Every structure is written in C-alpha cells, then in structure tokens.
Amino acid sequence: MIKEIFMCECHSEGVVVSYFDEEKEIYLALFNYAHSVKTKTFWERLRWCWNVLKTGEPWADEVILDHITAEALGNRLLEIVKNEKS
C-alpha cells in the first residue's frame, strides 16, 4: 500500500491518497487535522471524538477511484494548474 497526505493550505484539513496494489484502486479520504480542534467548543470536540470512536475513521467521507477515473482526475487537475500558470 502506498499512502500520501496532502494538507490544505489553511493546515486544518487534508486529503489522504492511498493506493492498494491488490485491488488496483485509489482511495481519497478527507480529514480534519488535529490542530483545528483547538478552535472548537468542548461539545464540538466531543462530537468529533465520538465520530472517531463510533466509525473508527477521523474523516467524514471517502472516494474510491479506478485507474480510468484516477487518470481523468489527475489530467483535470493538471489542466487546471497549467491554465492558472498561463
């Protein structure tokens, strides 16, 4: 398994990209970084902790991409970046 983390520019969220060789699938997981918890109320932090205890996952959503969709996403992101530089 290959795993890479891409942090948000605000440093409070991020995306984990995981690639599983045996399934030939790419997983994208969105998560809240621990430092963002400092700005939340006690009840918001408790709710966030309960979600992790209940689901076992610190993120709210996950996207699984096959090779064709991953290539399309990558090409689209590259296209956006190239257009911004022009």
Type of residue numbered 45 = R
Neighbours of 47 (CB within 10 A): 11
- Domain of 35, in residue numbers: 2-85
pLDDT exceeds cutoff 70 at 62: no
Q: In whole angstroms, what is the distance from residue 28 CA to residue 61 CA? A: 9
Residues 6+ apart with CB under 8 A from 39: none
Write out pLDDT tens, residues 26-57: 888 887 766 555 566 888 778 878 888 988 77
How many structural domains does the chain have? 1
Q: Encoding tokens for residue 34?
A: 């621990």
Sign of CA dihedral 84, 3, 26, 16: negative
Give pLDDT tens digits for 2-34: 788 887 777 677 788 888 878 878 888 887 766
- Report how far residue 83's alpha carbon sits from residue 28's, in angstroms, rounded to the nearest whole number: 24
